[in-house]
Amino acid sequence: MIIENLLIACDQRLKNNRHGKPCPNDGINNGCESCLHSIHFPTEDSPQKKYDCVHMADYYVCKYTYKYTSELIYAFDQLSDLLKRSEHLNVLSFGCGPCTDLLALDFLRHTKKFSYSSISFRGIDYNTSNVWNKVHADIMRIKNQSTDITFEYRDACEIINDLVETTWIPDIVTFQYFFSDMGKNTEPSAINEFLCKLATFANNNMREHSYIVLNDINLSTTYPSGCREYFNKLFECLHKGRFIMDFGYFHNDSQPHTYAYGHKFENNTLFFKTNSMAMYNPPSNCSSAQMLIKKDGKTT
C-alpha cells in the first residue's frame, strides 16, 4: 500500500538527515515537533509559522499520517453507494499535503472494501517553499499504474475560479484539515467567498451521487484553529433539496473534554499500528469533526 511505503521513505529521509545535515530549526526531533506545535497552536507571543520546511513535512507525515488517514477511512466508508459501483473515480483534494485522502482510498481498495478500478487524483496545495515536493515525488514513485495524479501548487482561492471552466468533474471533493489552516492565513470574507464559489460549482457542475468530504479539528471558529462553522456555511450555500448531509465527531481520548458536533462516532480506533513511528509521538486515536455532503439530486 502507498501509506506504508510513503512512511518508510519519509522516516529514512529524516534519519539520513540526522547523520550530518543539521536541521535549520535546532535539531530534527525537537525542531520539527516544536515547529508543528507552533503551527497548530499559535500564540500571540510567537509569529505565525507555516508549513515551510521539508524536514517538517517529513516529520508531519511520520507523526500524523496514520491518524489522518484513519479518519478519512471512516468517512469514505460511508460513501459505499459511490465507491462500490464506480469503475473510475475523480478526486479533488484541497490542501492535499501528504494526500491522506488518496492513502485512505488506496487502503480501502487494497482491503477489498471498495472495488473501483482506477482513480484520477488532483491535489491542490499552496506548497510554500516547495515543502511537499519530496513527499509528492515519493507518492508518484510508489503509486500503481491505475492511479493518475496531478498536483497544482496554487492558492485555493485562485483555483476555485478555474473550476467552472473545467470539463474534469470530481466524484469526491475533500477538505482534509484545510479550513483550520486557511483560517489562520485568510480573511473570513475571502473564506466565505471561496465557499460560495465552491457551492456554485457543486450546484451547477457536480453529478448526482457525488460527495464533498470535510474533516478537520473539532473546534468552533471562536477558538484558534477552529473551523466547524465553515462546514455549515458551505452546506447553507448549496441548493436546498439537492444535497443531504451528515456530521459528527470522534471522542478524543487524549483530552479531558471533547466538544459535541452532531452525533458521536462509535469508534475512534486507528486502522494502523503506530509502533514503527513511535519516535515521532503519533496520536493514538481519531479526534476530528466531519461533515459528509452528498448531491442527492432530489428536489423538495
pLDDT digits (tens, 9 = 90+) for 243-262: 999 999 999 998 888 999 99
Tell me which residue of 163, 61, 164, 70 sits closest to 122, measured CA to CA: 163
Rounded Cα–Cα distance for residues 36 and 117 (Å):
36
Least confident window among 78-82, 104-108, 147-151, 229-233: 78-82
Rounded Cα–Cα distance for residues 153 and 106 (Å):
23
Choice between 29 and 279, residue whose per-residue pLDDT is larger: 279
Q: Is 3.40.630.30 the CATH number for 64-295? A: no
pLDDT digits (tens, 9 = 90+) for 215-233: 999 999 988 788 999 999 9
Rounded Cα–Cα distance for residues 78 and 33 (Å):
33
Least confident window among 2-11, 42-51, 122-131, 288-297: 42-51
Rounded Cα–Cα distance for residues 160 and 94 (Å):
10
